[in-house]
Amino acid sequence: MRRLFILSFFLFSLCCEEAMAQPDVEQRIEETIAQMTLHEKVQLLHAQGKFSSAGVQRLGIRELHHSDGPHGVRAEVDWNTWGTANWTNDSIVAFPSLTCLAATWNRDLSSLYGHAIGEAFAFRDKHIMLGPGVNIARMPLCGRNFEYMGEDPYLAGVMVVPYIREVQKLGVACCLKHFFLNNQEINRFGVNVHVSERALNEIYLPAFRSAVQQGGVWTVMGAYNKWLGTWCCENDSLLNGILKRQWGFDGAVVSDWGGVHSTLGAAFGGMDIEMGTNTDGKTIDRSHGFNSYYLADAFESLVRKGEISEKVLDDKVRRVLRTIFRTSMNPNRAIGKQCSPDHYEACLRIAEEGIVLMKNDKHLLPLGGNRYRHILVVGENATRSLTEGGGSSELKTKYDISPLDAIRDAFPNAKVDYAQGYYSGRPLYGKAQERLDESRQDALREEALSKATEAEVVIFVGGLNKNGFQDCEDSDRKEFALSFGQPELIKALATRNKNLVVVTFGGNPFDTLWSSSVPSFLHCWYLGSMSGRAIANLLTGETNPSGHLPITFARRLEDYPCFKGGERTYPGVDGEVYYDEDIFVGYRYFDTFGVASAFPFGHGLSYTTFAYGKPSVRVTEDAIDVDVPVTNTGKCGGKEVVQLYVGVAKEKSRDFAHARPLRELKAFDKVALKAGETKTVTLTLPKHALQVFSPDSHRWEMRQGKVRIYIGTQHIDVML
């Protein structure tokens, strides 16, 4: 257990952020608007194809090309259907999932990710990348959590900012999504979310706010669900009130595809570009063409009648033109590149640092050298493509390196055998699960167990995949346990071979009760095109694990607070879902209410060890700086994530509505240390980070009384 240091004192103050101005662009916008007809203005506000919105050809204003991300550029589809266009030059590098990026806890890798993926989008002539996503992982079964950045708003907010900045430097707009409260896929098209004002401001809005005010994101995508009984894609309180007026967002709001439901709602609710509304755009019947969109003919008619002010129209036009001038008409826009060696290298670096060493009893890992001559690899994910499936984030890759191939390359002097072990079915999206043959499953299982007795070491590669009802858009998982008989297979393998390494993929936590029977366990998220190489490098010890969990792995599904209220709290009753757990999402709940987890938020082991020296504190007018010496006390180089948490000295209330979390993440840094090396890590805590949101005054206020600061490698290892 690693020691954490606790510092206590009284604190106060607040600091603010400012938005940037672009006077040259603003002048061009006004000059353009002055020359546009009303019809030309309206044409800017809705789709002209499945992933395109119009410009103004007469004035030389270019159109906008959108494309799904956030892990790579989606394969080309037909102009206005979801059918594949069957291009031969649209294969790309798949980058790791955003949960993997969050698990690196490395700002520099976020910048690297953003630069590389921005180049890919620029090369493919895409102007708006539909991503990244920062919805909070409230619920561990959510099919789309792998596209987001975990359960903590501070971590997600910090990690998303460099990504956005680097993408947009290249003249490609990020489209931050899904704004907001899109925390479940089941009933996502209509569920109305009830959440406290305190939870909104402390949990569900901060990462979006960081992306807007610190990242300077250029476009934002509205969510499908409702808040306050109103669709998020036409929600005046959300889009105009919070996003545009409070936060100063000057870009365009883009609807999720089919997320707009009315002309007046879109007109007055803050929507700027309407995409994908109830049409294939190809029918002869004009009532079902692009002109039938809510922000098309019907909107234009109301403006001409004077029922909607032209000022409302012009505000939307300014925002769309601002996006066009920043992207498709940006004279400094990058040419970009695709499938370049440095993109594969970036993919590998991010994947390696995102993998979390969950357990390593008896130091079975690393497996390097020539210790083993006979290795058995078991599991479907050792050969299955995990860049396919998952919904809109599915990618068409030039090539992927599978774990099995990479392990064989990494152990050239060993016999590397393979057994599939289980079968999960084809990747299906929006369809019923494939019915699996039990006799086939039994045969695969028995083959794996038979081979396990002959091998010196067994590497099981399984976990989740991107089938429907796994990690996939438009469906949530149906169970907390790993599917397809994997827990039983893992435990059976452990009885046949004591040298068992379990490697799992997945963007969500799952039941890990089986982990008590295995000595070593790596969790890998989705690692993209270089997944096999990254895993092999960690297995051999060529790379030292340094990933840390951005989510909590509970012991039981019912331990997560979002399940405490039955259907009321998930998935909802009669289209209404209630976030009764308030601010107690993830580790905030487990810590404060004394619920033990299987693997806590912030957890991550290494092949080396680290020791912390005594921290020192420097208090300035605007911030608190904590200096802490960190020493690598092991025999190999490694990276340590130093984490700072803030909490109350003593928690009095034990109910969700009034309690404060025992600890909350407020700063972190990742430091690389050679064996025996010591470095001093400085963690800066701005005093505004000590504020809490008051539902009584409806504003941020400084914490009252004594505040504790915890320094260490993961929040659970507190030694008072």
Contact 560, 588 (CB under 8 A): no
Smallest Cα–Cα separation from 383: which of 398, 397, 403, 399?
403
* 58, amino acid identity: R
Contact 693, 197 (CB under 8 A): yes
- Cα separation, 148 vs 224, whole angstroms: 16
717 annotated active-site = no
- Cα separation, 237 vs 112, whole angstroms: 35
Smallest Cα–Cα separation from 13: which of 617, 707, 710?
707
Smallest Cα–Cα separation from 56: which of 71, 41, 38?
41
Q: Residue 212: phi, psi to the nearest 5? A: -80, -50
603-634 b/e (C-beta count within 10 Å ≥ 16 → b): bbbbbbebebeebeeeeeeebbebebebbbeb
Q: How far is C-alpha 412 from the chain's CA centre?
A: 36
- Cα separation, 679 vs 669, whole angstroms: 12
Q: Give the Å distances, CA to CA, from 20 to 213, 249, 715.
A: 9, 10, 36
Q: Among residues 68, 152, 250, 256, which one is catalytic?
A: 256
DSSP classification of residue 704: P
Residue 107: count other Cβ atoms within 10 Å of its Cβ: 16
Contact 266, 316 (CB under 8 A): no
Smallest Cα–Cα separation from 446: which of 378, 390, 514, 528?
378
Q: How far is C-alpha 623 from the chain's CA centre?
A: 29
Contact 211, 157 (CB under 8 A): yes
Contact 195, 181 (CB under 8 A): yes
- Cα separation, 214 vs 192, whole angstroms: 29
Q: DSSP string covering 491-532, please? A: HHHHHH-S-EEEEEE-SS----GGGGG-SEEEE----GGGHH
Sign of CA dihedral 133, 139, 144, 146: positive
Which residues are known to be catalytic?
A: 256
